[in-house]
Amino acid sequence: MTDTEHYVRDDVAGFLAMLEQMGRPGVEELPVEQGRAGMRALGAIAEAEPRALAVIRDLTCPGPEGEIPLRFYDTQEERAPGPVVVFLHGGGHVIGDLEVYHSLCTEICATLDLPVMSVDYRLAPEHPFPAAPDDCEAAARWIATSPEELGREFTGLVITGDSAGGNLTIVTTHALGVEPAEVPVVLQAPIYPIAGDISQTASFRDFAEGFLLTGAAMKWFSDQYRGDPLSHRMFPLLEEAENVPPTVVITAGLDPLRDSGREYAQHLIERGVDTTYLEAQGNIHGFATLRKAMPSAQNDVGALLDAMHLLLRRHGHVA
């Protein structure tokens, strides 16, 4: 099947046509700081507006190499004990930040009615692998202690994130399965994640050009990150995970990473993990933070959050 035979939603096609007309250089053609600024600029024009919340607060937690910036969200000034969402942003381990993912975090918080903590882990190339997984694990362990600064009692962690953050979701959940934190991971929800080597997959071959995330960009991200291809902290499918919690995986149908998410979901289902797999057919990588430019993506984010709530309720973590 050729690229022209793949189903593309009308709003997705319009967005891709707009990007082509703009003639934006690929992230691999820019200095790192310009790539980061470009991701923020794209979000400013393409992402939905943030939801209003009772609590939005910046703070830090101790990390392996200094303080880790965080942003805390809640729909309520005070709440009874319950789970907390730990959000790990995308951007190839290189170009994401708290601001790019601010609106999405407010959406997660408002829809699930759960507190959310967004983690601003260290980025490559200044801080290559394993700085990102080290920071994400440290932040998750700190959040699990119900820190006094937050005035909340957390009963479990819900770990989620997109793309590179989807990879870090799986890696962090794995780490906390081997050496548990003060409260368990009760759900993980990787969003279009990398779980293994994507270079030989059909989706990488089919969608490496013309669908926002390109093969050239993926190579550039990999070169900056300098991950160990033999480590499960780079490709978590390399090692059998312990104590895997209920899981929601969502992929995009036109994404070079699609088959990695599919493979990870299939692996968990075959192991008997309570797993929900969703695919946003006709949509592209990055849709979760492009909801104004591609309004149909809001339905995909809604489906993800509905599935997360369903599994949390099924396992007795929310009413």
Specify the amino acid at residue 66.
G
pLDDT at residue 4 is higher than 70: no
Q: pLDDT by residue (tens digit) across 153-202?
A: 999 999 999 999 999 999 999 999 999 999 999 999 999 999 999 999 99
Domain spans, the chain: 3-314
Asked if residue 191 lies in contact with residue 107, where contact means CB atoms within 8 angstroms, the answer is: no
Structure tokens at 271: 């192991």
| Cβ atoms of 32 and 89 closer than 8 Å | no
pLDDT interval class at 24 (50, 70, 90):
confident
Q: What pTM was computed for the model? A: 0.97
Q: Which long-range contacts (CB under 8 A, 24 or more apart) does 291-296 make?
A: 291/46, 291/47, 291/48, 291/103, 292/45, 292/46, 292/47, 292/48, 292/49, 293/11, 293/15, 293/18, 293/45, 293/46, 293/47, 294/9, 294/11, 294/12, 294/15, 294/46, 295/11, 296/9, 296/11, 296/12
Asked if residue 40 has pLDDT above 90, the reply is yes
CB-based contacts of 67, cutoff 8 Å, min separation 6: 60, 61
C-alpha 239, offset from chain centre: 21
The total of other beta-carbon atoms located within 10 Å of residue 129's CB is 18
Task: Supply the pLDDT for residue 47.
Answer: 98
Contact 13, 254 (CB under 8 A): no
In this prediction, residue 1 carries a pLDDT of 40
Query: Side chain identity at 234, as an amino acid letter?
Result: M
Q: Tens of pLDDT along 208-263?
A: 999 999 999 999 999 999 999 999 999 999 999 999 999 999 999 999 999 999 99
CATH ID of 3-314, from 1.10.260.40, 3.90.1110.10, 3.40.50.1820, 1.10.10.10: 3.40.50.1820
Residue 301 has pLDDT above 60, yes or no: yes
| Per-residue pLDDT, 287 | 98
Q: How many CB atoms lie within 10 A of CB 272?
A: 8
- Catalogue the active-site residues: 163, 255, 285
